[in-house]
Amino acid sequence: MAASAIETSAPAKAVLSGEYAVLVGAPALVAALDRRVRCRLTVREQGGWEFLGTGHAMHQRMTRDELLASPADTLAGIVPQVLRANETPPHVGVEIDSTACYQGGVKLGLGSSAAVVASLATALSALAGRRCRLAELLTLHGRLQGGGSGLDVAAAASGGVIRFATGKAVPVKLPRDLYLRFVFAGHGTATAPMLARFHAWRKGEMPAPLRALEHAAEQVAALASSGVAVGTFLEALAVNAEALRHMDEAAGIGIFGSSHRAAARLAAKSGVIYKPCGAGGGDIGVAASDSRERLDAFGDDVIEAGLTPVAASIDPAGVG
């Protein structure tokens, strides 16, 4: 019997606004990016279950019984959460390619784990003739990662640009003539310690800098799909970036790491807006403008300063 295969892919993401504020219920704008994680499942005649990863390198082999007993906070543990025991073949090859979320062998911080979960779970559910819903993907990723808002999962599932709040994603459109450029800070960031510092600072309360960030995030999200002029949207995005910086200074989280501060200075010089994406510290940031020429000047300065541009565009397609 010939082996049968299922192939899926899911986009990476960049947070355009609303990071940290989304953790207290404010909306975030999240863009799916055309750096996709790819998954291939091959049902075989022997060999048990074999997981092979590139980008994030991994190689693991196990029996079906071992697979079904895998804990929920492991990649293998996704399988028994998606497939019932009687739906689980005894021999499957799982290939996951996340190299698009790396550059020079370094992880860029584009939400690759969420894209892995979305692509793998979608492929697994296809084995059983089903399709995972967003709520299921959010649960799977939450168990794997141990927390977070889920915005990266929602972007991987939906594609395009979404307004995400309290577990729900709504597609939106950015203003015409809005141009984006992404920059890698040169090192990755572990999200969990950043979130721990945030929660330790707020102590379940809403300090003034967080309230200001919440309001700024709400303003940016409200302008998406409103038909507003690009200049008005950029003004709101600049306010959001400044509110994020003020909260970072108050909380001591480290969102604006040294590379992000350098990129922000270059952005100000070129007349464009810049902010870290997501947890910050390292990973990527985004520059935004209504002028390609100003963004090009910023890009030249970024390279000269030793920072790393990241080629990426908004991907309209979600997992599939």
CB burial of 95-112 (b: ≥16 within 10 Å; e: otherwise) equals bbbbbbbbbeeebbbbbb
pLDDT at position 189, please?
87
pLDDT at position 2, please?
46
Q: Is the whole model's pTM more than 0.85, yes or no?
A: yes
Task: Give all strands (DSSP E) within 147-251, no chain letters.
Answer: 161-165, 168-172, 179-184
Q: Residue 203 class from Cβ within 10 Å (0-12 exposed, 13-18 middle, 19+ buried)?
A: exposed
Q: Residue 150 class from Cβ within 10 Å (0-12 exposed, 13-18 middle, 19+ buried)?
A: buried
Structural domains of the chain, ranges and CATH numbers in brackets: 4-171 (3.30.230.10), 173-310 (3.30.70.890)
Chunk the chain into consecutive blocks of 10 residues (it has 320) and report each block's average pLDDT, rounded to whole numbers.
Answer: 81 98 97 99 97 96 98 97 97 98 91 97 97 96 89 97 96 96 92 94 97 98 93 98 98 97 98 96 96 98 95 98
pLDDT at position 1, please?
39
Q: Give the span between the Cα atoms of 163 and 152, in whole angstroms.
A: 12
pLDDT at position 199, please?
96
